[in-house]
Amino acid sequence: MQQLLVRPENMKRIDSPELAKAYIDEQVAAIKEQVGDGKVLLALSGGVDSSVVAALLIKAIGDRLVAVHVNHGLLRKGEPEQVIEVFRNQMHANLIYVDAVDRFLDKLAGVSDPETKRKIIGKEFIEVFAEEARKLTGIRFLAQGTIWPDILESEAGIKAHHNAGGLPEDLSFELVEPVRILFKDEVRMVGKTLGLPDGMVYRQPFPGPGLGVRCVGAITRDRLEAVRESDAILREEFAAAGLQGKVWQYFTVVPDMKSTGIRDGKRTDDWMVIIRAVNSVDAVTATIEEVPYSLLLKIRDRIFHEVKGVNRVLYDLSSKPLATIEYE
C-alpha cells in the first residue's frame, strides 16, 4: 500500500475512533512498504502534527524512527519535558534532545524587527537540525507533519509549503508524510486513538517562532520568562474554568514597554502582561472571547503574585480584522 499524495474526493471524514483506527492500520502498512528496513528522521516539535506522525512511525517501525527535539528556549512551560516523558519514557522512542536555548537566545539578542526574528529562528533551527542529521548514518527518509490544509494553501499561493527545501544540499531525503491528506480535526482524532495525551492532541495553534513573537520587541531572558510563566497561569486557569477546548486560542504577550506602578509602598517600573483570547474557525477572522470578569481577576492576581517584574495586566479586545491574532 502506497501513501496517498492527494485526498480522495469521496474520502469520509475521520470523525470516530473506528475510522481513525482503520486509517492508522492503512498508514502503518504504507510506512512499512515505503521505508522497508530503513531509518526515518523526524523533527519533533511537540505540536499535534509532528507528534501524531511520530506515534504512527513508532507503531510502524519502532526505534528505526530517529526523532530530534530541539529546545530553542521559545517553547511554552513544560513542553520539552512533556515531549521527553511521552516519547522517550512512555513510547520508548529513539529520541535525541538538543538543548539549544543559549544558542538561539544569543543569536536573537538585541533583534527587535519581527521578520528578522522569525528568519533567525527558522535559519538556526535548520542549522541545528542539519548538524544532528549529519551525526547519523544510514538515514534515507525524512518524516514531516504536513497536513492537507498546508497543501491547499500552498497551491493557492497563500503560504509556502514547509517541505525539506530548507535543508542543505548535502542532506537529501525521501519524504514520509503519513497525515498529508488529513484535516486538523482528523489528525487530532488519529492522535487520540493512538493514545497521545489530550494536552498534546488538543494543543492550541502555536506560531513557528514560539514565544519569540509574544515577547514583543528584542527578546530578553527575563521578559521571555514572564511570557512563559504568565502563559502557564492563563492555561491552568482556563482549564480549571472549563474553557480549554472551548476557546480556540489564548495566550499572553509581554511587550518591551514598562510603566509606573506601586509595590509594597514603593514605586516600580515594570512590564505589562496582555491577555489574548480569541475564537476562530480558519484564523482568517477572529472574535473575542467574553471571559468572565471574576476569572480575569483571578488570573490577574496570580500573575501579580507569581510573575516577576509585572505591574499591569490587560485584556485585549481587538478582533481580526483589524488586529492580527498574534502581535508579531
Q: At what angle do helices 17-35 and 184-193 cross, to 10 degrees?
A: 90
What are the domain boundaries of the chain?
A: 17-201, 210-315
Give the chain's mean pLDDT: 91
**Res. 146 pLDDT band, cuts 50 70 90:** confident
Q: Residues in the chain, how many?
A: 328
Per-residue CA distances from 197 to 47, 144, 200, 202, 316 (Å):
12, 20, 6, 9, 30
8 A C-beta contact, residue 144 and residue 38: no
CATH level 3 topology of 17-201 = Rossmann fold (3.40.50)
- The model's pLDDT over 3-36, given as tens digits with 9 standing for 90+, comes to 667 888 889 999 999 999 999 999 999 999 999 9
Instruction: Give dist(CA 71, CA 98) in Å, integer.
Output: 6
Enter the CATH code of domain 210-315: 3.30.300.10
Residue 187 and residue 180: Cα distance in Å, rounded?
10
* 153 vs 23, more confident: 23
What confidence score (pLDDT) does residue 171 get?
75
Average pLDDT of the segment spanning 179-187 = 91
pLDDT tier for residue 155 given thresholds of 50, 70 and 90? low
Per-residue pLDDT at 159 exceeds 60: no
* Angle, CA 111 vertex, CA 107 and CA 115 arms, to 5°: 100
Over residues 238-289, the pLDDT tens digits come to 999 999 889 999 999 999 999 999 999 999 999 999 999 999 877 778 999 9
d(CA 255, CA 62): 44
pLDDT at 41: 96
Write out pLDDT tens, residues 84-128: 999 999 999 999 999 999 999 999 999 999 999 999 998 999 999
